[in-house]
Amino acid sequence: MTSKTWTRRHFLGAISSAPFAGTAGASFLGFSPSVNAADAAWPTKPVRLMVGFPPGGGADAIARLVGRKLEVELGQPFVIDNKNGATGTICSAEVARSAPDGYTLQAAHVSSNAIAPMLLAKGRFDPIKDFTPIGLIGITPHVLAVNSKSHLQSLDQLIKYAKANPGKLTFMSAGVGSSPQLAGEEFKRKAGIDMLHVPFKGTGEALNALLANEVDMTFSSTGSVMQHVKTGRLKVLAVCSPKRLASMPNLPAIAEVLPGYEAYTWYGLAGPAGLPTHVVAKLEKAMQKIVQQPDFVKRMADLDAEVKPMTAAQFNDFWRTEVTKYQALIKLAKLG
């Protein structure tokens, strides 16, 4: 049975009719239960793959792509459950509270798991302790983009104008705690300029404002803006990667002017803390196989994301480094 056949209603019905193994209560007591035959056979029923952002966006598209691949590798439906709000932290909080049985996973995202928890979900969950990182799916670089009709035509001109007109320029994001916000805040700090952050309720609303020339710029992922660049409605002034992108060799990297500057969005797979080792091992093995499949790599490239294979241990280290990095950036930007 494919994921197209499974609705959220079907999924909840299947879950309610299948008894849980009781691992959650045991983990709360501080010990790991023994693995019985039924547990070892995981998955034996549909798995809920939660996404902290609405259908139609990049995070949702990547989650659905991974979910379909996991179905093939593991033999059970992976049902997408979009629970957007508060820059993905509503989803993250629910995953953190879920039973660590392998039947609730998250399509993790830099905003919902490494940035916004420090701004919008303080005390609701710990971005490190309450999750089990399983694997990195991919990374999308950010770009500095403006409306094609903007008076801002180059990176140097933008910085000069901002210094001469403090507080006049605006940059948008999909919401407080999103990666484009932190990218803009770090740009401000490194350039020594003042610009106004304008948060919106989602990427679509934010892009519409930029397309209407109601805000001056964005530091968004290539996946969000490039379709509008191709139609001539937006213009990229610089890339947020450490060096120039092969796909845009004539555009400067912001790091050429502001050393050390970098901004990107990452996507991964995670579960609640205490996920059994045999579940992690099965998911890790499946993910390692998926990210090396040519059709998967191509589809990710179509979504402007570069596949970055990592083991669960490597992704765990990456996750911790990202959370720590953004904690420091939020403190430097005086946001939290």
Calculated CA dihedral for residues 321, 324, 328, 329, nearest 10 degrees:
60
- Quote the pLDDT of residue 42: 98
* 13 has pLDDT over 70: no
For the segment(s) 141-257, the CATH number from 3.40.190.10, 3.30.43.10, 2.60.40.10, 3.40.50.300 is 3.40.190.10
Overall average pLDDT of the 15-28 stretch = 38
- Quote the pLDDT of residue 334: 86
Overall average pLDDT of the 32-46 stretch = 72
Alpha helices of the chain — where are they, by DSSP H?
Answer: 8-17, 23-28, 37-40, 58-74, 89-97, 110, 117-120, 155-164, 179-191, 203-211, 222-230, 254-257, 277-290, 294-302, 312-332
* 279 has pLDDT over 90: yes
CATH class of 3-139+264-332: alpha beta
Helix (H, G, I), strand (E, B) or coil at 312: helix
Overall average pLDDT of the 188-205 stretch = 94
- Who has greater pLDDT, 25 or 236? 236
User: Is-same-fold flag (3-139+264-332; 141-257)?
Assistant: yes
Question: Would you kindly state where each structural domain of the chain is located, as residue ranges?
Answer: 3-139+264-332, 141-257
On average, the pLDDT of the chain sits at 89
Under a CB-based contact definition with an 8 Å cutoff, are residues 290 and 136 in contact?
no
- Quote the pLDDT of residue 12: 45
Q: What is the pLDDT of residues 90-148, one digit of tens each?
A: 999 999 999 999 999 999 999 999 999 999 988 899 999 999 999 999 999 999 999 99
pLDDT confidence tier of residue 88, bands split at 50, 70 and 90? very high
Q: DSSP for 85-116, please give it.
A: -GGGHHHHHHHHHS-SSSSEEEEEEHIIIIIT
- Quote the pLDDT of residue 14: 44
- Quote the pLDDT of residue 203: 86
Q: What is the pLDDT of residues 213-222, one digit of tens each?
A: 999 999 999 9
Alpha-carbon distance 182 to 82, whole Å? 24
Sorted by sequence, the CB contacts under 8 Å of residue 295 that are 6+ apart come out as none
Q: Tell me the percentage of the chain whose pLDDT exceeds 70.
A: 88
* 25 has pLDDT over 50: no
pLDDT confidence tier of residue 304, bands split at 50, 70 and 90? confident
Alpha-carbon distance 198 to 164, whole Å? 20
Alpha-carbon distance 216 to 198, whole Å? 10
pLDDT confidence tier of residue 22, bands split at 50, 70 and 90? very low
